[in-house]
Amino acid sequence: MKQELKKYRKTIEVLESKKKLLVELSSAVTTNIINCNEQQLVAQIVELQNWVAQMDMLINCLAPAYSVILKYKYVDGHTWDYIAQVTNQSVSNCIRLEQHAINSILDVLSVDTIAS
Protein backbone atom coordinates (compact mmCIF):
# COMPACT_ATOMS: atom_id res chain seq x y z
CA MET A 1 0.00 0.00 0.00
CA LYS A 2 2.81 2.39 0.89
CA GLN A 3 4.48 1.63 -2.41
CA GLU A 4 1.31 2.50 -4.31
CA LEU A 5 0.94 5.74 -2.35
CA LYS A 6 4.51 6.72 -3.17
CA LYS A 7 3.89 5.86 -6.80
CA TYR A 8 0.72 8.01 -6.91
CA ARG A 9 2.48 10.88 -5.16
CA LYS A 10 5.31 10.70 -7.66
CA THR A 11 2.80 10.66 -10.53
CA ILE A 12 0.98 13.65 -9.02
CA GLU A 13 4.28 15.54 -8.65
CA VAL A 14 5.15 14.85 -12.29
CA LEU A 15 1.69 15.91 -13.44
CA GLU A 16 1.83 19.10 -11.33
CA SER A 17 5.25 19.90 -12.74
CA LYS A 18 3.94 19.40 -16.30
CA LYS A 19 0.89 21.52 -15.50
CA LYS A 20 3.12 24.30 -14.17
CA LEU A 21 5.24 24.13 -17.31
CA LEU A 22 2.13 24.29 -19.53
CA VAL A 23 0.80 27.30 -17.61
CA GLU A 24 4.15 29.09 -17.97
CA LEU A 25 4.30 28.25 -21.67
CA SER A 26 0.73 29.39 -22.21
CA SER A 27 1.45 32.64 -20.38
CA ALA A 28 4.56 33.25 -22.49
CA VAL A 29 2.68 32.61 -25.73
CA THR A 30 -0.19 34.87 -24.66
CA THR A 31 2.24 37.64 -23.69
CA ASN A 32 4.02 37.28 -27.03
CA ILE A 33 0.72 37.50 -28.94
CA ILE A 34 -0.37 40.54 -26.93
CA ASN A 35 2.99 42.26 -27.47
CA CYS A 36 2.86 41.50 -31.19
CA ASN A 37 -0.67 42.86 -31.49
CA GLU A 38 0.30 45.86 -29.36
CA GLN A 39 3.26 46.62 -31.62
CA GLN A 40 1.07 46.35 -34.71
CA LEU A 41 -1.54 48.64 -33.14
CA VAL A 42 1.11 51.20 -32.19
CA ALA A 43 2.45 51.14 -35.76
CA GLN A 44 -1.06 51.65 -37.16
CA ILE A 45 -1.73 54.49 -34.73
CA VAL A 46 1.50 56.23 -35.72
CA GLU A 47 0.63 55.79 -39.39
CA LEU A 48 -2.84 57.26 -38.84
CA GLN A 49 -1.45 60.16 -36.82
CA ASN A 50 0.96 60.96 -39.64
CA TRP A 51 -1.87 60.77 -42.18
CA VAL A 52 -4.10 63.05 -40.07
CA ALA A 53 -1.26 65.56 -39.68
CA GLN A 54 -0.69 65.53 -43.44
CA MET A 55 -4.40 66.00 -44.18
CA ASP A 56 -4.62 68.79 -41.61
CA MET A 57 -1.67 70.53 -43.25
CA LEU A 58 -3.27 70.19 -46.68
CA ILE A 59 -6.63 71.51 -45.45
CA ASN A 60 -4.95 74.48 -43.79
CA CYS A 61 -3.19 75.32 -47.08
CA LEU A 62 -6.52 75.63 -48.91
CA ALA A 63 -8.47 78.81 -49.44
CA PRO A 64 -10.47 79.62 -46.27
CA ALA A 65 -13.81 78.92 -47.98
CA TYR A 66 -12.62 75.40 -48.82
CA SER A 67 -10.99 74.61 -45.48
CA VAL A 68 -14.05 75.75 -43.51
CA ILE A 69 -16.32 73.43 -45.51
CA LEU A 70 -13.97 70.45 -45.13
CA LYS A 71 -13.48 71.03 -41.40
CA TYR A 72 -17.21 71.36 -40.74
CA LYS A 73 -17.97 68.24 -42.77
CA TYR A 74 -15.08 65.86 -42.05
CA VAL A 75 -13.52 67.03 -38.81
CA ASP A 76 -16.65 68.07 -36.94
CA GLY A 77 -19.03 65.71 -38.79
CA HIS A 78 -21.81 68.23 -39.45
CA THR A 79 -24.60 67.77 -42.00
CA TRP A 80 -24.77 69.73 -45.25
CA ASP A 81 -27.82 71.58 -43.94
CA TYR A 82 -25.93 72.75 -40.86
CA ILE A 83 -22.89 73.77 -42.90
CA ALA A 84 -25.06 75.71 -45.33
CA GLN A 85 -26.75 77.50 -42.44
CA VAL A 86 -23.55 78.54 -40.61
CA THR A 87 -21.76 79.58 -43.81
CA ASN A 88 -24.80 81.42 -45.22
CA GLN A 89 -24.67 79.39 -48.44
CA SER A 90 -26.87 76.88 -50.18
CA VAL A 91 -26.35 73.17 -49.66
CA SER A 92 -25.49 72.74 -53.34
CA ASN A 93 -22.87 75.49 -53.13
CA CYS A 94 -21.33 73.87 -50.04
CA ILE A 95 -21.12 70.55 -51.89
CA ARG A 96 -19.58 72.30 -54.90
CA LEU A 97 -16.98 73.95 -52.65
CA GLU A 98 -16.25 70.57 -51.07
CA GLN A 99 -15.63 69.03 -54.50
CA HIS A 100 -13.31 71.89 -55.45
CA ALA A 101 -11.48 71.56 -52.14
CA ILE A 102 -11.00 67.82 -52.59
CA ASN A 103 -9.81 68.35 -56.16
CA SER A 104 -7.31 70.92 -54.89
CA ILE A 105 -5.95 68.41 -52.39
CA LEU A 106 -5.81 65.71 -55.06
CA ASP A 107 -3.93 68.10 -57.35
CA VAL A 108 -1.35 68.64 -54.63
CA LEU A 109 -1.07 64.90 -54.18
CA SER A 110 -0.98 64.39 -57.98
CA VAL A 111 -4.02 62.13 -58.02
CA ASP A 112 -6.81 62.20 -60.62
CA THR A 113 -9.50 64.69 -59.63
CA ILE A 114 -13.11 63.73 -59.01
CA ALA A 115 -15.93 64.98 -61.20
CA SER A 116 -17.22 68.43 -60.26
Give every CB contact of residue 115 below 8 A, 6+ residues apart in sequence. Answer: 99
| pTM of the predicted model as reported, rounded to 2 decimal places | 0.57
Which pLDDT tens digit goes with each residue over 52-68?
888 888 888 889 999 99
pLDDT digits (tens, 9 = 90+) for 3-22: 666 666 766 776 677 777 67
> What pLDDT is recorded for position 112?
52
Percent share of the chain, pLDDT over 70:
77
Taking every pair of Cα atoms in the chain, the longest distance, rounded to a whole number of angstroms, is 96
